[in-house]
């Protein structure tokens, strides 16, 4: 419930959409954290609720790739799900395989990417959060163990390269080699008792020059695209 400033009238909030609040730095005081807690405890629809919010972080994604999911989803469903996962590896100091993982990645830095999982850089999609190639090697070699914990190591994806034309302001049109990323828009509405409704509604395709490590439309390196169905 919120109260208006003019007449102190109570108003029930139906939906809370988080435009910010995805980084610890967005919560500057204890009052900010209390507001987030009050929202999560309320009956309002949260987009996202804290469970979905945490699932979007790199650390939780890494834990899910290593977890035993069969108790919740069954063996067949677990196999199907893990077929879509890229390998993600913890760089925490208490990981008994940390030295082996670092040595593997430093020997083949072109096969991996370092992803920020916490701290000042955002845990969001869209580019700018990753370290590749020689920079990855140097980061693994020179970063103190406690600072290295702020990263998650992931197997680098090898997307299909094709040819297309990227339309940009004040630039000549030409055919270039590109790769694309498909994102599907969907929603899940649920409660502690289960899923009420869910569905998929549309998609987005981002296409970037294949020689770029990072994409991101907002960074100017990628462009909106459309599928050519055959």
Q: How many domains does the chain have?
A: 3
Over residues 44-55, the mean pLDDT reads 92
The verdict on 184 and 123 lying in the same domain is: no
Q: The domain that contains 217 carries what CATH number?
A: 3.30.470.20
Residue 139's Cβ-count burial label (10 Å; 0-12, 13-18, 19+) is middle
The parent domain of residue 208 ranges over: 162-225
Q: What number of residues does the chain have? A: 230
Domain boundary among 55, 70, 95: 55
CA dist 151 and 100 (Å) reads 16
**Domain identity same for 150 and 198:** no
* Least confident span in 29-43, 109-123, 191-205: 109-123
* Mean pLDDT estimate for the chain: 88
In a domain, 121, yes or no: yes
136 is a domain residue: yes
Residues 22, 43: one domain?
Answer: yes
- Closest by CA position to 109, among listed 41, 48, 155: 155
- Domain C-terminal end among 124, 155, 186: 155
Identify the pLDDT of residue 64. Answer: 84
Residue 221 counted as domain residue: yes
The pLDDT value recorded for residue 120 is: 43
Look-up of token digits 């509604």: 201
Mean local confidence (pLDDT), 100-116: 95
In a domain, 16, yes or no: yes
pLDDT band at 217, cuts 50/70/90? confident
On whether both 209 and 135 belong to a single domain, the answer is: no
Confidence check: pLDDT of 135 > 70? yes
Residue 121 sits in the same domain as residue 88:
yes
Q: What share of the chain has pLDDT > 70, as a percent?
A: 92
48, 68: one domain: no
Q: Is the model's pLDDT at 43 over the cut of 60?
A: yes
Residue 67 belongs to a domain with what CATH number?
A: 3.30.1490.50
Last residue of a domain, one of 155, 175, 205: 155
- Identify the pLDDT of residue 63: 86
Note whether residue 230 is domain-resident. Answer: no
- β-strand pairing of 151-155 with 112-116: antiparallel
Kindly state the DSSP code that residue 87 receives in the 8-state scheme.
P
Cα→Cα distances 81→42, 64, 123, 125, Å:
32, 10, 22, 21
């Amino acid at each position: 419930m919120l109260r208006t400033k003019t007449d102190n009238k109570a108003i029930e909030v139906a939906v809370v959409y988080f435009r910010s609040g995805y980084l610890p730095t967005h919560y500057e005081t204890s009052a900010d954290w209390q507001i987030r807690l009050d929202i999560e405890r309320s009956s309002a629809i949260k987009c996202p609720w804290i469970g979905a919010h945490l699932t979007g972080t790199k650390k939780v994604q890494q834990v899910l790739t290593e977890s035993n999911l069969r108790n919740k989803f069954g063996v067949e469903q677990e196999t199907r799900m893990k077929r879509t996962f890229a390998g993600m590896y913890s760089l925490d100091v208490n990981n008994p395989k940390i030295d082996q993982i670092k040595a593997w990645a430093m020997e083949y830095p072109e096969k991996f990417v370092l992803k920020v999982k916490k701290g000042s850089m955002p845990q969001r999609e869209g580019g700018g959060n990753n370290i590749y190639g020689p920079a990855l090697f140097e980061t693994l070699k020179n970063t103190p163990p406690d600072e290295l914990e702020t990263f998650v190591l992931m197997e680098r994806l090898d997307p299909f390269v094709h040819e297309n034309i990227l339309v940009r302001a004040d630039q000549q049109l030409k055919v270039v080699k590109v790769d694309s990323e498909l994102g599907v828009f969907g929603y899940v509405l649920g409660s502690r008792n289960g899923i009420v409704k869910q569905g998929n509604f549309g998609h987005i395709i981002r296409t970037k020059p294949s020689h770029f490590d990072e994409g991101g439309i907002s960074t100017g390196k990628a462009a909106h695209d459309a599928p050519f169905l055959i």
